[in-house]
Amino acid sequence: MSHSILNGKSIVFAGGGTGGHLLPGMAVAAELVSRGGCQISFVGTNRSIEQQIIARSGYQHIDLPTYPLKAMFRNPFRFIVNHSRAYWKGRSFLRETKPALVIGLGGMASVPVILEASRLRLPIVLLEQNIVCGKANHFLLGRADVICSSFPGTIWNSTQVDAGQKPRVIVTGNPVRTEIRKLAESATDTTSSSEDDEFVILVLGGSQGAVSVNSAVIDMLKLSQDQLHETIRIVHQAGEKDFSRVEKVYAGLVDVIPGLKVTVQPFFDDLSDWYARANLVISRAGATTLAELACAGCPTILIPYPGSVNEHQLLNAQYFEQSGAAVVVEQSPDPQQTASLLKEAFFKLRFDEEQRNQMATSMRQLAFPEAARQVTDEIIALIRG
C-alpha cells in the first residue's frame, strides 16, 4: 500500500561497516520504497563490504572518515580528527538533504549523524540487532524517539530505558530482506539429505569472513576424512582476506576425501537459495545472520566470535541454544581443540535427523519475518507526528 506521506521525503540511514549493520537497514529501505516515493541515503564507512552491498541497491552512499572505537587509545589524535571530520561531513549532508527521519543502524559511523539529527530535532529511530546493546547505540539511546529491538529481553545497561522512559522500545525482530522473508513463508523441510543424496553444510563467518571458523571447518574435515563415506557438499563464505587460502586447501581435500564437493566464495550476494538447501549450518553468531537462519529454519552449530563487544555473539548464541534452535561450540585458544569440539557436534547432528528437525522447528519459532514492515510502520507514524 502506498503512503503519500512518504512521497518526496528523504530518509537517511546512518551507520554500517558490516553486513550485520547494513542488511537490516537495506530491508527497511526496500519496504519504505515499496510504500511510497521516498529518497533513500546511507551514510556509513568506506569499507569494501559496505560499498559492495549498497552498490547493488542503487541507493546514495556517503562515507565518513570514522575510526574504530577500539583504536582510540592506540592513536587518539587520529580518532579525534577523523570523528571531527565525520561530524562536519554528516552535518553538512543532513542540512543539505533535510531528511524527514534518520535511522541509526549501529556502528561508529552512526554517532556523528545521529548527534546532528538530534540537534536538528529530527525524528530518530535506532535499530538494535544484538541481545546486548552495542556501544554506539548505548551512547545514542537518549537521542532516539523509538528503538526497534531484535530480541525480547535485550540488555540495555541503561537506567533510562530500563525505567520505561524515553525512548520507547518495541520488539520488532531484526529486519530481513524480502527473499529471506519468503523462506519463512514457505517453511520447507531441508534437514534430510537432498534427492541426489548430498548433505549440504553451509559455512558462514559473517559478511567479512572469519579465519578461525574457516580453519575450524577445514581442520574438522581433516580429522574426519576417514569417517566421511557419503556425499557432502560444503558451501563456504570465506571472506575476501582468507578466500585464496581456503580455496587452495579445499582443492587438496577434494582429492583425498571421496564424495566431498565444495562451493567457496568470498561473499555470497544472495544466500536464500543455499539457506533453503542447507541440511546444517556452521556459523558465527551475528544477529543478522541469526535472524536469517531463523526465517529459513536452519539447524545450526554456532561458533561465537570471542572478541565481540560485550560478548554479544556468545549471548546471542546462548539465547538460540537455550531455545533449542542451535548448538554452541565455543572457540578455544587451541585451534585443534575447536576443530575437535566441532567434529563432535557435527557427527552428533549429522546422524540425528530427528534432532535437526526439532532444531529447525525451534529456529522458525524465533523468526520475525515481518520485522521490516513493523519498523516501517513506526517510521511512518513518527513522520506523521
Q: Give how far Cα 278 sits from Cα of 153, 182, 196, 356, Å.
A: 30, 16, 13, 11
56 annotated ligand binder: no
177 is known to lie in a ligand binding site: yes
Dump pLDDT digits (tens) for 79-107: 777 778 888 888 999 999 999 999 999 99
Reported confidence tier of residue 147, pLDDT bands at 50, 70, 90: very high
The segment(s) of the chain belonging to CATH 3.40.50.2000 are 4-176+369-384, 181-365
**Taking a C-beta distance cutoff of 8 angstroms, is the pair 260, 228 a contact?**
yes
User: Is residue 313 annotated as involved in ligand binding?
Assistant: yes
Kindly state the percentage of the chain with pLDDT values over 90.
70
Give the long-range contacts of residues 245-252, CB within 8 A, separation 24 or more.
245/214, 246/214, 246/218, 249/218, 250/218
CATH number of 4-176+369-384, picked from 3.40.50.300, 3.40.50.720, 3.40.50.2000, 1.10.760.10:
3.40.50.2000
Q: Give the per-residue pLDDT at 306.
A: 93
Q: Which of 74-78, 152-156, 326-330 has the lowest mean pLDDT?
A: 74-78
Question: Does the annotation flag 20 for ligand binding?
Answer: yes
Please compute the mean of the pLDDT values over residues 104-129 and round it to a whole number: 95
The sign of the torsion formed by the CA atoms of 2, 129, 242, 338 equals negative
**pTM, 2 dp:** 0.91
Topology of the domain comprising 181-365: Rossmann fold (3.40.50)
What's the pLDDT tens digit per position in 324-334? Answer: 999 999 999 99
Confirm whether residue 193 is marked as ligand binding.
no
